[in-house]
């Protein structure tokens, strides 16, 4: 009963703040997200941040694609906002996750986390998120939030880099990039943790993540919380064939030739898509569907706990879909690892009752870099000491105000992109191993990047190249990890 009364009180306080913000927030003089945070200082919102792994924008129903039904993801859009020009700071896992949690470009990371950390690389076993690189969980924890990460970390392998040393009170999940969904190992290497202990658990990873998230929500409804749920679906899995067992395996760096790389889903989930002829696409569809079911269970737990009115829910993908493993970023050009739109423009859905108008569509240019500063402002946190490349997009989400943005992408080598308004500069080798080629695209008239305007607008090309070079020079001069 006491728990129910506390939940009711929190809900009533939220509605009072919501009524005040609706009166001013959608009038001629709207509130900023900072003032919303002040108005709700006694009841800051819960935050549930969910992220898919390699989910292309072409595989989410509310973005106009019906092959793979995603009713629960679609419900977030129906009750909140669907963002059409939302970007990941990188077209691969690790750097994208760094930006999401820090609000910084991955080029600022001490270990230059510009590509996916990899178990088979001995150097990568020593790299990751360092102390002093403050993330959103640490900032919210200082504000009294309960914090948890349930799912994929991928910001450092092994105990030294675990989430519980970076502001998360609780962790269940894995540290590597591509574990087996059934054995929860990277090949033969155990990689399923509860806090700082390796554990054995039976079940399909997506289901286990949902089970734990539901339980955690139910157990932590009495205080504001930040729950980060990075699914490892629909990323390809790294299994291992016991027939290839070599007694020397435990004492040396893994060899990929000993592993089995495949998409994995329960048989009953795959059976729902028996009509899809491509076997990879069929299993991929099953993985996405199973993840959507997991999202539905999490949304139901929020609703049943009476927390829906006081909970910001966000869902996005870490990068574009991987066409080699069933994913789709259609209609955009390219996919995972590319700096064309298909690699970095990703689905993003958010809801916050009373603040984000239901069923809205936002064409605001934004990025995963913006999530941390937006949530921090909403929670009433001060400006952090470390540099922040993202911005608070609350004024756009809550009031529909347009925010001018320039977005920078660079892998630290020969590939990257720079977006300024309608124009986008892309540096990408058209063929792997070849020198990068430069293209200029008008995303307002050609979001599919089918026509290169470099020779048509040389002055515009030169302007973007100069800005791009300036940012690269600044980031390249940052001190390396000590």
Task: Enumerate the active-site residues.
Answer: 93, 154
∠ CA(362), CA(315), CA(101), 5° rounding? 105
Compute how many other C-beta atoms are within 10 angstroms of the C-beta atom of residue 190: 14
State the residue for tokens 């008239």: 445
Contact 108, 384 (CB under 8 A): no
Helix/strand/coil for 459: helix
Residue 373's closest CA among 99, 9, 58?
99
With CA atoms as reference, report the closest residue to 256 among 121, 158, 126: 121
- Of 9, 39, 47, which is closest to residue 352 (Cα–Cα)? 47
Q: Are strands 46-52 and 225-230 parallel, antiparallel or unpaired?
A: parallel
Dihedral sign, Cα of residue 177, residue 373, residue 371, residue 475: negative
- Is residue 107 within 8 Å of 410, Cβ to Cβ? yes
Measure Cα distances from 378 to 45, 178, 312, 360, 386 in Å. 8, 33, 10, 20, 19
Backbone φ and ψ for 348, nearest 5 degrees, come out as: -150, 125
With the C-alpha atoms ordered 73, 78, 79, 83, is the resulting torsion angle positive or negative? positive
Q: How far apart are CA 338 and CA 92, in angstroms?
A: 9
Tell whether omega for the bond before 478 is within 30 degrees of 0, i.e. cis: no
């Amino acid at each position: 009963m006491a728990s129910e009364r506390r939940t009711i009180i929190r809900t009533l306080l939220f509605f009072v703040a919501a009524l005040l913000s609706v009166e001013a927030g959608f009038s001629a003089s709207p509130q900023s997200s900072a003032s919303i945070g002040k108005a709700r200082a006694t009841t800051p919102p819960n935050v549930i941040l969910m992220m898919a792994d390699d989910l292309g924008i072409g595989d989410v129903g509310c973005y106009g694609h019906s092959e793979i039904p995603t009713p629960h993801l679609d419900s977030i859009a129906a009750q909140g906002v669907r963002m059409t020009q939302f970007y990941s700071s990188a077209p691969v896992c690790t750097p994208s996750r760094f930006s999401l949690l820090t609000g910084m470009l991955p080029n600022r990371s001490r270990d230059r986390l510009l590509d996916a950390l990899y178990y088979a690389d001995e150097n990568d076993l020593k790299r990751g998120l360092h102390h002093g690189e403050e993330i959103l969980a640490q900032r919210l924890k200082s504000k009294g939030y309960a914090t948890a990460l349930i799912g994929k970390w991928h910001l450092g392998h092994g105990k030294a880099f675990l989430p519980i040393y970076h502001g998360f009170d609780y962790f269940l999940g894995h540290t590597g990039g591509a574990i087996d969904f059934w054995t929860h190992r990277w090949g033969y290497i155990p990689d399923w943790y509860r806090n700082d202990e390796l554990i054995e658990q039976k079940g399909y990873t997506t289901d286990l993540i949902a089970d734990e998230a539901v339980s955690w929500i139910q157990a932590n409804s009495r205080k504001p919380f930040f729950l980060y749920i990075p699914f490892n679906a629909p990323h390809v899995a790294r299994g291992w064939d016991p027939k290839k067992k070599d007694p020397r395996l435990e004492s040396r760096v893994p060899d990929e030739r000993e592993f089995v790389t495949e998409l994995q889903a329960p048989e009953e989930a795959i059976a729902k898509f028996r009509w899809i002829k491509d076997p990879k696409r069929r299993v991929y569809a099953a993985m996405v569907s199973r993840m959507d079911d997991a999202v539905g269970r999490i949304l139901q737990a929020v609703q049943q706990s009476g927390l829906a009115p006081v909970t910001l829910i966000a869902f996005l993908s870490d990068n574009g879909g991987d066409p080699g493993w069933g994913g789709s970023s259609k209609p955009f050009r390219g996919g995972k690892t590319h700096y064309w739109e298909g690699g970095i423009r990703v689905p993003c859905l958010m809801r916050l009752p009373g603040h984000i108008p239901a069923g809205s569509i936002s064409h605001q240019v934004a990025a995963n870099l913006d999530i941390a500063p937006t949530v921090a402002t909403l929670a009433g946190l001060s400006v952090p000491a470390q540099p922040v490349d993202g911005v608070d997009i609350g004024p756009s989400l809550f009031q529909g105000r347009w925010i001018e943005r320039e977005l920078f992408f660079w892998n630290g080598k020969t590939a990257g992109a720079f977006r300024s308004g309608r124009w986008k500069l892309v540096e990408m080798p058209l063929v792997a191993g070849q020198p990068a080629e430069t293209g200029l695209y008008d995303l307002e008239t050609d979001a599919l990047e089918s026509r290169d305007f470099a020779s048509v607008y040389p002055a515009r090309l030169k302007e973007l190249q100069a800005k791009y070079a300036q940012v690269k020079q600044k980031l390249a001069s940052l001190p390396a990890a000590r």
